[in-house]
Amino acid sequence: MAERIAIVADHAAFEMKMLLIEHLRSGGYEVLDLGTTSTDSVDYPDYGYRMAEAIASGEAQRGVALCGSGIGISISVNRHPACRCALVSEGLSARLARDHNDANIVAMGARLIGIEAARDIVDQFLATPFGGGRHQRRVDKLSNPVFARENA
C-alpha cells in the first residue's frame, strides 16, 4: 500500500501544488489533495488547518503545505500539537527536518523557490527517515509542552 501524502496550497501556490501532485503520483505515492482548487484568493489558515487535521487524524502520514512565502501556512499548521511542520527552501533543510525533528509536514513558498527545488525538497523529505536516538527526547517535547517544562 502506497504512503498517503496530503498536499495543500493557497491561491499563490496552486500551480506548484498541481505540479507536485503529478510528481508525487509518479513516485508511487497516494495523494490527498486538500485544496485550494484554483488561483482565486483564499485564506491560507483555512488550508493549514485542513492539513493539520488530516495529519492528526491519520488520514495522511505526511504532508506538503504551500503558500506564497511558506510562512503563513507553516504557522497555521503548527498550531496543532500533532504537527511538526518545517518551512524549508532547499533539500538539506528538508533532510535535517526529518532526521533531527521528525517533521511530518514540509512547507515551502511558491513565490520564493522554483519547481525543481520544490521537487528536490519533497523527494529528500520523503526519503529521509527520522534518526531517533538523541533526537527522540526533543521531538517528544515538541508535541507535549507540559513534558518539556517539567523536564527542562
Catalytic residues: 67, 100
Buried b / exposed e along 99-115 (16+ C-beta atoms within 10 A):
ebbbbbbbbbbbeebee
- CA proximity to 10, closest of 59, 53, 70: 70
What is the Cα–Cα distance from 67 to 109, expressed in whole angstroms?
A: 5
Residue 38: strand, helix, or coil: coil
